């Protein structure tokens, strides 16, 4: 373990670990470049994307377009597949050499494994699942994360200040394909003995019958107001008509009505669809922190004082068992009319 690296003027630069899998960048890395740009500009420091993999140079142009001033690229056969041993070793060596002041890591499955291990290796602090960042008057990074109904502001006095954020929390910058960054290639020695895990193969996950929620454009989300698992039929019918994925609150998972893969919120996933329909959901902060960045929110709740209405774009006050059948009937009619007009035009 290293000596604690106390706040130190030699630590400079805002780094983002931009994860790729099979030569495809994870969106969260690009989103963190957006958050990092703001912080780097406030500090007057460079925004650096760190890209590890094998034959991944093609991805550099995306990192330039999405805001990086510099890209540190490490290509090695043993980095082709993510392993926490190899990735921690490389990132730790780079960090010790360049001394960044901030390091952002996406809260993906791999990122969640990598970030705490790296923090322990570097003997520095880490804040997970941040929803905002700022710089305080002493020049420390303020990590903002929900803590019950409060937003906690956390600072870290050691360097680098490591933080993770879930996908869909921050927005990507508009890409500028004319932007150019400085590219720095680094050679890091990695031996097969450094890696204690062997990837023997990969098994495709079973198809999720409720649809993936992280990248869905339309989500129909349901809460405890649904009353029973049997009533899910109604939700699924609405979701099918809209081509939507089905999401839920934590009590719905606790009751076994839907699997935890569909849970939105602090201890679930963060989503930012174009349309989020919240049905029988009260709007507790633990839930809204995971969906408030949706473009349009429609809430259906029988309680006019339900907090969800404070963030809803359109509020429908009433009994979901009366409203949903009306909505479904109307949508079926619309779909029929659209189909009819397509057939008529085609004739």
Ligand X SMILES: Cc1cc2nc3c(=O)[nH]c(=O)nc-3n(C[C@H](O)[C@H](O)[C@H](O)COP(=O)(O)OP(=O)(O)OC[C@H]3O[C@@H](n4cnc5c(N)ncnc54)[C@H](O)[C@@H]3O)c2cc1C
Both tokens of 311, joined, read 């963030």
Q: Closest distance between ligand X and the C-beta of residue 129, in Å?
A: 11
The distance in angstroms from the start CA to the end CA of the chain is 74
With residue 74 as reference, give the H or E element that holds it. strand 70-75
- 221 touching ligand X, by CB under 6 A: no
Smallest gap from Cβ 255 to ligand X, in A, equals 10
Q: How far, CA to CA in Å, does 141 sit from each of 111, 180, 184, 308?
A: 20, 27, 26, 31
- Of 179 and 224, which has the nearer Cβ to ligand X? 224
Nearest 5°: CA angle at 156, between 167 and 100? 75
Looking at beta carbons only, is 36 or 223 nearer to ligand X?
A: 223
Query: Which residue, judged by CB position, is nearest to ligand X in the bound state?
Result: 265
Residue 107 interacts with ligand X (CB under 6 A)? Answer: no
Shortest Cβ 301–ligand X spacing (Å)? 4
Near ligand X by CB under 6 A: residue from 80, 251, 298, 331? 251
**13 is a site residue for ligand X (CB under 6 A):** no
Binding status of residue 262 toward ligand X by CB under 6 A: no
Site membership for ligand X, residue 266 (CB under 6 A): yes
Q: Which of 265, 264, 266 is nearest to 212 (CA)?
A: 264
Q: Of residues 6, 215, 303, 334, which one binds ligand X by CB under 6 A? A: 303
283 torsion bin: left (phi>0), alpha (psi -120 to 50), beta (else): left
Choose the binding region for ligand X from 92-100, 104-112, 178-186, 300-308 (rule: CB under 6 A).
Answer: 300-308
User: Among residue numbers 273 through 292, which ones bind ligand X (CB under 6 A)?
Assistant: 280-282, 284, 286-287
* 253-287 per-residue burial string, b: 16 or more CB within 10 A, e: under 16: beeebbeebbbbbbebbbbbbebbbbbbbbbbbbb
* Contact present, 190 and 90 (Cβ < 8 Å): yes
Alpha-carbon distance of 3 to 279, in angstroms, equals: 52
Write out the binding residues for ligand X, residues 138-157 only, by CB under 6 A: none
Between 95 and 249, whose beta carbon lies closer to ligand X?
249
The residues that touch ligand X, with contacts defined as CB under 6 A, are 223-225, 249-251, 263-268, 280-282, 284, 286-287, 300-303, 306, 319-321
């Amino acid at each position: 373990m290293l000596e604690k690296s106390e706040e130190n003027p030699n630590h400079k630069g805002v780094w983002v670990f931009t994860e790729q899998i099979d030569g495809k960048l994870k969106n969260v890395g690009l989103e963190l470049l957006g958050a990092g740009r703001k912080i780097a500009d406030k500090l007057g420091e460079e925004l650096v994307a760190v890209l590890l993999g094998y034959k991944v140079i093609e991805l550099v142009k995306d990192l330039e377009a999405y805001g990086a001033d510099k890209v540190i690229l490490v290509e090695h056969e043993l980095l082709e597949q993510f392993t926490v041993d190899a990735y921690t070793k490389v990132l730790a060596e780079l960090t010790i050499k360049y001394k960044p002041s901030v390091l952002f890591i996406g809260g993906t499955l791999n990122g969640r494994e990598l970030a705490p291990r790296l923090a322990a290796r570097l003997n520095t602090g880490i804040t997970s699942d941040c929803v905002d960042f700022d710089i305080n008057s002493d020049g420390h990074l303020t990590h903002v994360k929900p803590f019950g109904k409060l937003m906690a502001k956390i600072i870290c006095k050691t360097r680098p200040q490591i933080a993770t954020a879930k996908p869909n929390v921050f927005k990507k910058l508009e890409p500028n394909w004319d932007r150019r960054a400085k590219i720095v290639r680094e050679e890091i020695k990695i031996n097969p003995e450094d890696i204690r895990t062997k990837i023997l193969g990969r098994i495709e996950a079973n198809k999720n019958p409720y649809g993936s929620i992280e990248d869905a454009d339309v989500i129909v989300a349901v809460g405890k107001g649904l009353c029973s698992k049997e009533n899910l039929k109604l939700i699924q019918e609405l979701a099918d008509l809209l081509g939507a994925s089905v999401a839920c609150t934590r009590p719905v998972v606790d009751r076994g009505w839907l699997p935890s893969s569909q849970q939105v919120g602090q201890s679930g996933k963060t989503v930012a669809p174009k349309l989020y329909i919240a049905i029988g959901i009260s709007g507790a902060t633990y839930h809204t922190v995971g969906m408030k960045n949706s473009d349009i929110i429609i809430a259906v709740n029988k309680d006019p004082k339900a907090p969800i209405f404070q963030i809803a774009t359109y509020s429908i006050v009433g009994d979901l068992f009366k409203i949903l059948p009306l909505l479904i009937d109307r949508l079926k009619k619309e779909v029929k009319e659209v189909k009819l007009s397509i057939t008529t035009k085609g004739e």
